[in-house]
Amino acid sequence: MSATSIAVAQILVLVIALVAVHIPLGGYMARVFTSTRHLRVERAGYRVLRVDPDADQRWSMYLMSVLGFSLVSVLFLYGLERLQAYLPLSLGISGMDPAGAWNTAVSFVTNTNWQWYSGETAAGHLLQMAGFAVQNFLSAAVGIAVVVALIRGLARSGADGRVGNFWSDLVRTVVRILLPISVVAAVVLIGMGVIQNLSAHTEIATLAGGSQHVLGGPVASQEAIKELGTNGGGFFNANSAHPFENPTPLSNLLEIFLLLAIPFSLPRTFGIMVGDRRQGWAIVGVMGTLWAGAVGLLTWAELAGRGLVPAAAGAAMEGKETRFGAAASALFAASTTSTSTGAVNSMHDSLTAAGGGVTIFNMQLGEISPGGTGSGLYGMLVLVIVAVFIAGLMVGRTPEYLGKKIGRQEITLVALYVLATPAIVLMGTAISIATPAGQAGILNSGAHGLSEVLYAFTSAANNNGSAFAGLTVATPFYNVLLGLAMLFGRFVPIALVLALAGRFASQKTVPASAGTLPTHRPLFAGLLLAVVLVVVGLTYIPVLALGPIAEALQ
């Protein structure tokens, strides 16, 4: 078989696994969020914690629960990072500086997992376990909770803005979805060679008479939720390129599967909860098309290996592991940037110019192909509303989606959502390019240097977390600015989505008529695809032309 057909076969195995899990996982998640029964352990927890899991919250109350919970999460994690020298299992590592601790606390609470530090020397085991891994679960659960609230808003009729209960959604996501899958995945990963112990890094003598540290740590338990929750923060600096995080081609496939499983299954959950599974198919179709396009382009770019260095080396192997090669690295890179994961199994800074451009464009789509856990689907539903609105303008009818009218206030919220993230990306990039503190971090010169900065702010504002890691970001300038980008890039969209959910929940559902635009047919899916590409294209083409496109055409 040729290299191309092997690459295609590898992609097909993944697609088959994702198709197989779509229906059972999507259906299971729908049951989790529609069931009125609490598990015994959940009920006991609510009683001890004095939380009412049955209060049907208005969107504003739901939002305050999200923000209050996230606020204490940031403060708690900040405290752990600053004080880690005094904690057990710290491995003698001192606390983080204020700017770095701020950046990392925001990074993990916003599901970004941007990392300015190296895990092996900057984080002890307890900080990894009780700080980072916990937020890997919770930030993913918050994303899912928010999209479930939006789905309820669309599904309910005249419900006075009530969209469910955040605490119940949060706890159920953790206890019934993320934790069981993580336990199984973690044990399987250990079997493949991912380490799981509490040992310190220990020095040994190597075969050739040198010395090396054998690393320790509870890696597998964190690796599982790092992928499943589309978080992406590596236990070690090299992330999923590290042999102890991703030791074999099979573990590589498992990790890619885990990071795509929930985002690709949530459209099924959505279809069931709004009572029309075809609506979920249309969305998963558009998500899948975008993902497949990115995988195809990136695989082609890395196998073709254009560029001065790949040509001189004979292949685009700089920054790639032997066990993965170009094809499995491209598949990982496309999937991690299509979701908001940001884990990497190759160094994106060393991808070919076209390949690196695809990763940036993927994130600029707004993480909707299929996007992060929850955030991918709510991002896509916002663009669905844009598409419905445009279609309504074209035929001169009041636009509506699933029986909900898209009026002035709804489209205002949607417009703000669509503008928020690009504004953060472009302003952050501009500030960095225009200031000496920003310019100081750039490693590669010319167009590639601009790409490094653009990648950083695109990654932060879209809560991805991967990097063109040549950019030196361990400075107060980047730590503070990127921290702000992550914070606003997460919570401004969440506030807008919950407001939208409340508007929809208040509306009475209008029965479909002959004039209703069907939103489950290929025609609408095509329109949605075009809207996604045009909205993003018009926003980002100028800056992409100066960065990756200029470099690719050199």
Q: Which of residues 256-275 bind other proteins (CB under 8 A)?
A: none
Residues in 457-496 at the binding interface with other proteins, rule: CB under 8 A: 468-470, 495-496
The Cα–Cα gap between 492 and 471 comes to 27
What are the distances in angstroms from CA 528 to CA 41, 177, 343, 369, 459? 42, 30, 28, 12, 24
Q: Does 320 bind other proteins (CB under 8 A)?
A: yes
The Cα–Cα gap between 384 and 403 comes to 14
**Measured from the CB of residue 519, what is the shortest distance to other proteins in angstroms?**
23
**Measured from the CB of residue 244, what is the shortest distance to other proteins in angstroms?**
7
Residue number with CB closer to other proteins (60 or 516) = 60
**Measured from the CB of residue 45, what is the shortest distance to other proteins in angstroms?**
6
DSSP state at residue 402:
T
Residue number with CB closer to other proteins (48 or 395) = 48
**Measured from the CB of residue 552, what is the shortest distance to other proteins in angstroms?**
9
The half-sphere exposure of 375 on its side-chain side, counting CA atoms within 13 A, is 34
The letter for the amino acid at 294 is: A
Q: Does 417 bind other proteins (CB under 8 A)?
A: no
Q: Does 157 bind other proteins (CB under 8 A)?
A: no
Chain CA centroid to CA 29, Å = 19
Question: Contact with other proteins (CB under 8 A): which of 81, 448, 455, 539?
Answer: 448
Closest to 380 in 3D by CA, of 508, 487, 291: 291
**Measured from the CB of residue 324, what is the shortest distance to other proteins in angstroms?**
6
Question: Contact with other proteins (CB under 8 A): which of 23, 24, 68, 545?
Answer: 68
The Cα–Cα gap between 136 and 220 comes to 13
Structure tokens at 337: 């940037």
What are the distances in angstroms from CA 284 to CA 18, 22, 338, 362, 364? 11, 10, 13, 16, 19
Closest to 354 in 3D by CA, of 439, 289, 447: 447
How big is the site for other proteins, counted in residues (CB under 8 A)?
A: 133
Q: Does 387 bind other proteins (CB under 8 A)?
A: no
**Measured from the CB of residue 386, what is the shortest distance to other proteins in angstroms?**
16
Q: Which residues pair with 401 in a beta bridge?
A: 404
Question: Contact with other proteins (CB under 8 A): which of 79, 98, 193, 537?
Answer: 193
Binding string, residues 134-153; x marks residues near other proteins by CB under 8 A = x--xx---------------
Q: Which long-range contacts (CB under 8 A, 24 or more apart) does 521-524 make?
A: 521/282, 522/285, 524/282, 524/387, 524/391
The piece of 238-246, 279-287, 335-343, 376-384 that touches other proteins (CB under 8 A) is: 238-246
DSSP state at residue 93:
P
Q: Does 549 bind other proteins (CB under 8 A)?
A: no
Residues in 104-133 at the binding interface with other proteins, rule: CB under 8 A: 118, 120-121, 129-131, 133
Q: Does 295 bind other proteins (CB under 8 A)?
A: no
The letter for the amino acid at 56 is: D
The piece of 29-37, 237-245, 262-270, 274-282 that touches other proteins (CB under 8 A) is: 237-245
Q: Does 207 bind other proteins (CB under 8 A)?
A: yes
Closest to 500 in 3D by CA, of 405, 421, 420, 423: 405
The piece of 241-249, 276-284, 375-383, 426-434 that touches other proteins (CB under 8 A) is: 241-249
Q: Look at phi and psi of residue 91 and say left if phi exceeds 0, alpha if psi is from -120 to 50, else beta.
A: left
Residues contacting 415, CB < 8 A, separation 6+: none
DSSP state at residue 511:
P
SS3 at position 31: helix
Q: Does 161 bind other proteins (CB under 8 A)?
A: yes
Closest to 255 in 3D by CA, of 267, 264, 245: 245
Question: Contact with other proteins (CB under 8 A): which of 4, 199, 435, 439?
Answer: 199
Residues in 326-385 at the binding interface with other proteins, rule: CB under 8 A: 327-329, 344-347, 349-353, 356
Q: Does 392 bind other proteins (CB under 8 A)?
A: no
Question: Contact with other proteins (CB under 8 A): which of 2, 92, 204, 396?
Answer: 204
Sign of CA dihedral 16, 19, 301, 230: negative
Element (H, E) at 432: helix 408-434
Q: Does 81 bind other proteins (CB under 8 A)?
A: no
The Cα–Cα gap between 359 and 339 comes to 11
Question: Contact with other proteins (CB under 8 A): which of 17, 253, 292, 431?
Answer: 253
- Residue pair 280/370 in contact by the 8 Å Cβ criterion: no
Binding string, residues 165-184; x marks residues near other proteins by CB under 8 A = --x--xx--x----x--xx-
Q: Does 86 bind other proteins (CB under 8 A)?
A: no
The letter for the amino acid at 433 is: I
Residues contacting 163, CB < 8 A, separation 6+: 57, 58, 59, 62, 149, 150, 152, 153, 156, 498, 501, 502, 505
Question: Contact with other proteins (CB under 8 A): which of 69, 281, 300, 477?
Answer: 69
Place of tokens 């001169």: 396
The piece of 310-318, 365-373, 390-398, 422-430 that touches other proteins (CB under 8 A) is: 310-318
Residue number with CB closer to other proteins (212 or 439) = 212
Other C-beta atoms closer than 10 Å to the C-beta of 390 total: 15
Question: Contact with other proteins (CB under 8 A): which of 9, 16, 512, 534?
Answer: 9
Question: Contact with other proteins (CB under 8 A): which of 27, 87, 93, 248?
Answer: 248
Question: Contact with other proteins (CB under 8 A): which of 32, 83, 187, 423?
Answer: 187
Residues in 210-229 at the binding interface with other proteins, rule: CB under 8 A: 210, 212-216, 218, 220-222
Question: Contact with other proteins (CB under 8 A): which of 292, 315, 431, 510?
Answer: 315
